[in-house]
Structures are given as C-alpha cells and as structure tokens.
C-alpha cells in the first residue's frame, strides 16, 4: 500500500513537471514580459513599465522538489520601433529603448471605473509586427493620503513628532502615502509625480519635482507653515515649519557605540554615539543640520580635546573612561557628563 501511495505521488509530480511549460510571459497573449512595478498606480501619477530584453522565471513545485521549472524569455529589440496604444485614461509619456529594454512611462490621467485599463503594445521591425501583446494597468483615484514628516536628525527608533520643526540648515524627510478603498480593502497607491508647493522660500526640495513618495526638504529660512504635498489628484498638508534661531535650544545626548563581533555578540567601544538636537520652550523636537557641530571632550584626567566640524548625530567620538562632552552649533552650546559606559547624565 505504501509503495502504491508513493507511486501515486510520483505520478502527480511528473504530471505537474513534465515539461508542459507552465511558465509563460505575463502579457495577456503570453508573448511579452511586462515588469509593471509594485502596487496600484494612483490617479494623476505615472509609472515605468519595462519590456525587458531578457527575463528568467522560476516555478517551484514543492518542498521536496523546490525548483520545478526554469525558463528564460529573450527578446530582440535591436532596430525596432514601438507602437503603444493605451485605453482612455492612460497616457504614454515616453518609451525609450535602453540597456534594459523598452521603458514605457505611462501616466494615469483618469482612473477606470473597474480600476483597470489596458495597454496594448506592438514592437515593429520596419512595418512588420515582431511582437504584440497587452497588459492591464490597475489605477485608482485616492480616497486619502497619510503624510509622515521627520527631521533627519531624529533617531530611527523614535516616532515622528505631530509637527515637524527644523532649524535653518536642517533636512526633513517627507513621505506621502496615498490610499484607496477597494473591494479588497484599503490599499496603498504608488507612482511618480509628487510635488510640493506653498513652502515659499523656507524650504528647497532636493529632488524637484520629486519622482516618488519620499523626498528631502532643506530648511533655508524660518517659515514654511501651510506647505502642501500633491500626489496626482490627492493633496494633503505638510505639517512642517522652519523656526528662527532664537526659538530653540541645543540638546546633547549620548549612548555607547557598539558593534557585532565575530560571534555576532554586541560589544562596546570606548566611545560615545552623539545625538545633537533642539527643543523649543514647549519641549517640541527640533531637527538640526547633519554637519557643523564642534565638540570638546574633557576626560577624567583633565585633558581637553577639541573636535571641530563633525557630524551632529549618528557619530561616534572617543571618550575613554568618561568625562564631559560639549557640543556647539550655531552659537548654541550643550554639555553632558559621559560615564565609562558611554551613557550621558
């Protein structure tokens, strides 16, 4: 009986992996491969869809035979042109041929009622159709957008403050996350084409216009309240403001620098990791510039070391046996007593 059962299992595996080539291109006609990116496209945004020159797919059977089939699809695009025919609501922005293949930048101007529009493609060799296929492009209008704004100096383990405040010269990471209510539940939307306005001269966008949901703002001058982030057809306020120099004080904290040794066990260094930030009188966190902090360290032996022009956070400073560490930034000064373990008091 056991032999019969094993034979039946073997027959099923053979039937599922007998060279039927279950792997095939993801185009509707199973001719072309489309690398469509991640997630649902947001209305008013764009995305790059790649027609790769080469794509390898792997199909797993089960735990005892993890790789059932491997197949590589290759396309010869040399000397060809491309004809792209999108459904209404979609728009082809550009379609250059580069080292990866054809890169189709497709914008969703108006989301389809069912959330899908078709993109039809023909690759032409002269007047001859060399390849032809189509794919659906999911696109949704956003029902809302979450915005997260974090000063660059904020420790990654700390939650974002309700209102982002920055000193002049600081950088702010802004992230917009549009979402839509779908039959499958609330889903995030993605795409290229985020913009920011209303910040006046207070902030400069480091990548303007932003190509994605996250980008950095550099604080140039006090102000910036009322800035708005746009993600296609949805907008939301940016809770951010650059404050004047006299509205915050400098704060210094430290912890022991550590690393994983050869046994992957954390080990401490005879140094402290500095964290310089600002606080308003109300206790709100203020982001500071990454560079430009001058330090002095007075060791327990009374020796004083000057350390000018270093990083203001995420930086390790030698502090053997403890002592007093002071940081100076923009005419402000903050000091902390560092013990032999690297902690400050």
Task: Tell me how many domains the chain contains.
Answer: 3
Tell me: do 283 and 332 sit in the same domain: yes
Considering only residues 212 and 174, tell me which one the structure prediction assigns the higher pLDDT. 174
Tell me: do 126 and 171 sit in the same domain: no
Tell me: do 194 and 271 sit in the same domain: no
Tell me: do 156 and 65 sit in the same domain: no
pLDDT in tens, 111-121: 988 777 999 99
Residue 4 lies in a domain: no
Residue 11 lies in a domain: no
Across all residues in the chain, what is the average pLDDT? 86
Other beta carbons within 10 angstroms of residue 218's beta carbon come to 18
User: What is the rounded average pLDDT of the residues 286-307?
Assistant: 91
Q: Residue 305: give the domain boundaries.
A: 248-338
The β-bridge relationship of strands 164-166 and 240-242 is: parallel
Considering only residues 17 and 314, tell me which one the structure prediction assigns the higher pLDDT. 314
Contact in structure between 193 and 232 (CB atoms under 8 Å): yes
Q: Kindly report the CATH number assigned to the domain that includes residue 193.
A: 2.60.40
Contact in structure between 22 and 69 (CB atoms under 8 Å): yes
pTM assigned to the model: 0.77
Tell me: do 76 and 124 sit in the same domain: yes
- How many whole angstroms separate alpha carbon 49 and alpha carbon 33? 10
Tell me: do 158 and 223 sit in the same domain: yes
> What percentage of the chain's residues is helix, strand, coil (to nearest 5)?
5, 55, 40
Tell me: do 213 and 167 sit in the same domain: yes
Tell me: do 189 and 112 sit in the same domain: no
Tell me: do 102 and 186 sit in the same domain: no
| Helix (H/G/I), strand (E/B), else coil: 49 | strand
Contact in structure between 232 and 196 (CB atoms under 8 Å): no
Residue 12 lies in a domain: no
């Amino acid at each position: 009986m056991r032999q019969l059962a094993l034979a039946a299992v073997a027959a099923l595996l053979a039937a599922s992996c007998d060279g039927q080539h279950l792997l095939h291109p993801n185009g509707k006609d199973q001719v072309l491969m489309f690398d469509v990116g991640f997630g649902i496209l947001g209305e008013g945004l764009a995305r790059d869809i790649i027609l790769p020159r080469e794509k390898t797919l792997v199909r797993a059977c089960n735990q005892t035979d993890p790789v059932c089939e491997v197949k590589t699809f290759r396309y010869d695009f040399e000397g060809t042109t491309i004809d792209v025919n999108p459904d209404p609501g979609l728009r082809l922005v550009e379609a250059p041929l580069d080292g990866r293949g054809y890169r189709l930048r497709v914008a969703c101007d108006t989301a389809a009622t069912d959330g899908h529009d078709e993109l039809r493609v023909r690759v032409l060799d002269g007047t001859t159709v060399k390849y032809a296929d189509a794919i659906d492009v999911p696109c949704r209008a956003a029902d809302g957008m979450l915005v997260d704004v974090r000063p660059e100096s904020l420790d990654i383990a700390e939650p974002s403050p309700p209102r982002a405040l920055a000193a002049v010269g600081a950088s702010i990471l802004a992230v917009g996350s549009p979402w839509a209510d779908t039959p499958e539940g609330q889903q995030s939307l993605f795409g290229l084409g985020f913009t920011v306005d209303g910040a006046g001269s207070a902030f400069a966008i480091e990548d303007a216009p932003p190509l994605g949901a996250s980008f950095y703002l550099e604080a140039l001058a006090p102000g910036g309240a009322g800035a708005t982030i746009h993600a296609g057809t949805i907008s939301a306020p940016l809770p951010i403001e650059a404050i004047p120099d006299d509205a915050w004080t400098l704060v210094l904290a430290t912890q022991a620098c550590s690393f994983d040794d050869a046994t992957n066990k954390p080990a401490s260094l005879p140094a402290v990791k500095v964290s310089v930030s600002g606080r308003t009188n109300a206790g709100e966190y203020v982001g500071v510039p990454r560079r430009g902090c001058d330090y002095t360290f007075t060791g327990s032996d009374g020796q004083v070391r000057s350390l000018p022009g270093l990083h203001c956070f995420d930086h390790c400073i030698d502090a053997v046996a403890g002592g007093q560490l002071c940081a100076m930034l923009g005419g402000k000064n903050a000091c902390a007593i560092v013990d032999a373990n690297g902690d400050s008091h």
